[in-house]
Amino acid sequence: MTIRPHHSVLTLAALLLFALQVPSIHAQEAPSSTTPPHQAAPDDGGPVTDNGTIILKKKKETEQPSAPVAPAEPKVKNPNNETYSIRVDVPIVNLDVNVILDKSHQFVPGLKAGNFQVLEDGVPQAITSVRTAQTPITAVMLLEFAANSYYFIRDMQNASYSFFRSLRPDDYIAVITYDLRTHILTDFTNNKDTVGMTIQSLQIPGFSDTNLFDALYETLDRTSRIEGRKYIILIGTGRDTFSRITLDKILAKIKATPNVTIFSIGTGALVRELADAQGGMGGIQRLDYLQAENQMKSFAQMTGGLSFNPLFQGALPDIFAQINDSIRNEYVITYRPTNNRNDGSYRKVKVSLVDNEGHPLQMQDEKHKSLKYSVIARDGYKAKQEVE
């Protein structure tokens, strides 16, 4: 009996059994770390964990360094995160100075920087420049129009007409009257016809009170808002009756108002002279008018202006010719004060003329006769107030 076929069958069966057992053997030998992601672990009572393959992200390639950039300005933080700025103000003073011959009232041209001496609070100042200027006029006619005397009103109108007739086409003028209150009749205009009709309309005053201090204070306050040099032509008796502003306050206001020059023309001088000659003006009333004249002069002198008290109408053309000459022709002196503190103090200024050796300048005419002259300028200015 042969066993070869049986052996073949057994061999085939063994091979089939081996093929079926191979995956099971590989599964048992494979480590747990090769378990595919998200495949649940055997239920042995412990937590289900993900034993998937750990994937490390690839690092980015290092960028090539670019061209160097200038460093930014360092920022410094101040206390309480507040920002401060530092500004250094170097004060500069400009003085409008007029030099006029006393006899002819003519402007003296041709003066140089070395001919001027400026003292501020008694200390000599180094002048940086001196130049002459001719500029248009920007002026306010401040007129006393009160029911006191017909002669006072007539003098005021004659003086007003003489002034506005001397104006040029590029001059600007405003008209303000005062009695108990201030009245703006004409704003700044270069129309001479408008100014003439305004003055002509002043016929019947309403009150007899003359609150000069209040009117001048308000006018200074208005003109301070206008840029450039301004002029106030104050025409009146100079008397003040019931102003709320005192004399000390109006003087302080004049000192604190820059770039304003006051020219004063008194009215009623002839009437007062005739009354004194006839004994018709009492001592108290006469003293009142003398004080008024002194006030008008003080207003003008403090601002570098001129004061007049004409007796006759015929003197008015020469007076306003002198005023025009003083306004249109002037020296502008510039200097840096040795006292550069911005303390808001008032600095007294005195301007004089000197020769090459520092002595008072002597003037002579063609016949070598001495000529007297006047140097007209503000008597001081108010320094800036430091801003905290």
**AA identity, residue 184:** I
* For the chain, counts of helices (H) and of strands (E): 8, 16
Contacts of residue 135, defined as CB under 8 A and 6 or more positions apart, other chains included, come to 228, 229, 328
**AA identity, residue 183:** H
Mean pLDDT of the chain: 79
Cα angle, residue 330 at apex, residues 325 and 333 outer, rounded to 5°: 170
d(CA 96, CA 327): 10
Res. 163: pLDDT tops 60: yes
For residue 37, the model assigns a pLDDT of 45
Res. 277: pLDDT tops 60: yes
Chain segment 37-59, per-residue pLDDT in tens = 444 444 444 444 445 444 545 55
**AA identity, residue 76:** V
Cβ(101)–Cβ(373) below 8 Å: yes
Longest C-alpha distance within the chain, in Å? 191
Could you state, in order of their start, the residue ranges of all structural domains in the chain?
Answer: 89-134+330-388, 135-328
Q: State the number of CA atoms in the 13 A half-sphere of 218 facing the CB.
A: 15
Q: How far apart are the first and last CA of the chain?
A: 132
For residue 360, the model assigns a pLDDT of 93
Please state the separation of Cα 70 from the chain's center in Å: 40
User: How is domain 135-328 classified at the architecture level of CATH?
Assistant: 3-Layer(aba) Sandwich (3.40)
Chain segment 281-297, per-residue pLDDT in tens = 555 566 777 888 899 99
Q: Which two tokens stand for residue 310?
A: 């004409």
372 three-state secondary structure: coil
For residue 233, the model assigns a pLDDT of 95
The residue ranking higher by pLDDT, 376 or 387, is: 376
On the question of a common fold for 89-134+330-388 and 135-328, the answer reads no
Q: Which two tokens stand for residue 265?
A: 């023309």
Section 262-276 average pLDDT: 83
| In the chain, % of residues over pLDDT 90 | 31
CA distances (Å), 200 to each of 175, 177, 236, 238, in order?
Answer: 12, 13, 17, 22
Res. 72: pLDDT tops 90: no
d(CA 321, CA 303): 19
d(CA 96, CA 204): 39
Place 278 in a pLDDT band, splitting at 50, 70 and 90.
low
Cβ(236)–Cβ(143) below 8 Å: yes
Strand ranges inside 145-279, DSSP E:
172-178, 182-189, 230-236, 260-266
For residue 89, the model assigns a pLDDT of 61
123 three-state secondary structure: strand
| pTM given for the model | 0.62
Of 2-11, 213-222, 339-348, 358-367, the one with minimum mean pLDDT is 2-11
Class of domain 89-134+330-388: mainly beta
| In the chain, % of residues over pLDDT 70 | 73
Res. 270: pLDDT tops 70: yes
Instruction: DSSP for 314-355, please give it.
Output: GGHHHHHHHHHHHHHSEEEEEE--S----B--EEEEEEEEB-
Place 322 in a pLDDT band, splitting at 50, 70 and 90.
confident
Place 388 in a pLDDT band, splitting at 50, 70 and 90.
very low
d(CA 96, CA 258): 11
**AA identity, residue 84:** Y
d(CA 135, CA 92): 21
